[in-house]
Amino acid sequence: MKIIILDDHSLFSEGLGKILSDNFKDIKLETYNSIASLTKKELDLNSYSLFISDIELPGEEVFVYLTYIKSKYPNLPVLIISMHNKLSVIKKCKDLNIEGYILKDDHEFIMEGINKILAGQQYYSHKVMQTLNILNKKEKLLTPKEEEIISLLAKGKNNHDIADEIFISYNTIKTHRKNINRKLKLNTTADIIKYYYKNYI
Partner 1 sequence: MKYWLVIIFLIHVLYSFAEERYIIDTTVQEINLKDYCYHFEDTTNNLTIKQAIKHSWTKLNSNPTFASNKHVQWIRYDMYNPYNESIERIIFLPYHLIHEIDAYTIVNSSITNICNTGTKRPYDSKHINSNGYPIRINLKPKQTTSVIVRLKHLCRPLRATTYLLSEERVLNIIQKNNSIIWFWRGVFLFAVFISLVIYFSVKLKLFLYYFFLNLGFGLFIASQLGDYFLFFNVDNTDITSVIDFTGAILGNLFFPLFLNALTPIKARNEVLWKWMYRVIYVMIIIYIFSLFPSVRSSIAMYYFHFYIMIVSGLVLSLQLLLLVKNIIYKDKNAIPLFIIYSIYIVIMFIEIIFANMGLFADSPYVHISLLIVSVFEIFSFMGLMAHESLKIYKERSELLEKQQEHQKQMILSMVAGQEEARNRAGRELHDSIGANMAIIKQRIGKDNKELYKIASQTIESVRNLSHGLVTPMVKNDEFADEMKELCFLFSSSEIEIHCYFHGWPKIDDSEITTHLYRITQELLQNAVKHSKAKNVYFQFIGENNKNISLIYEDDGIGFGYEKKERKGLGLKNIENRITLLDGTLQIDTSSAGKGCTIVIEVKNVV
Is residue 129 part of the contact set for partner 1 (CB under 8 A)? no
Q: Which is nearer to partner 1, 145 or 155 (CB)?
A: 145
Sign of CA dihedral 112, 113, 116, 122: positive
Sign of CA dihedral 10, 17, 33, 96: negative
Local structure of 50: helix, strand or coil = strand
Paired sense of beta strands 2-6 and 123-124, if any: unpaired
Helix/strand number for the chain, H first, E second: 10, 6
Is residue 143 part of the contact set for partner 1 (CB under 8 A)? yes
Contact 37, 4 (CB under 8 A): no
CB of 155 to partner 1, least distance (A): 20
Is residue 175 part of the contact set for partner 1 (CB under 8 A)? yes
| Size of interface with partner 1, in residues (CB under 8 A) | 37
User: For the stretch 171-195, what's the b/e string if a residue is b when 16 or more beta carbons lie within 10 angstroms of its beta carbon?
Assistant: eebeebbeebeeebeeeebeebbeb
Of 26-34, 72-80, 113-121, 179-187, which part binds partner 1 (CB under 8 A)? 179-187
Q: Mark 11-40 with x for binding to partner 1 (rule: CB under 8 A) and - for no binding.
A: xx--x-------------------------
Q: Which is nearer to partner 1, 121 or 130 (CB)?
A: 130
87-95 helix and 126-133 helix, angle to the nearest 10 degrees = 100
Q: Which is nearer to partner 1, 71 or 136 (CB)?
A: 136
Q: Contact positions toward partner 1, by CB under 8 A?
A: 9, 11-12, 15, 56, 58, 83-88, 91, 103-105, 107-108, 131, 134-135, 137, 139, 143-145, 166-169, 171-172, 175-176, 179, 182-183
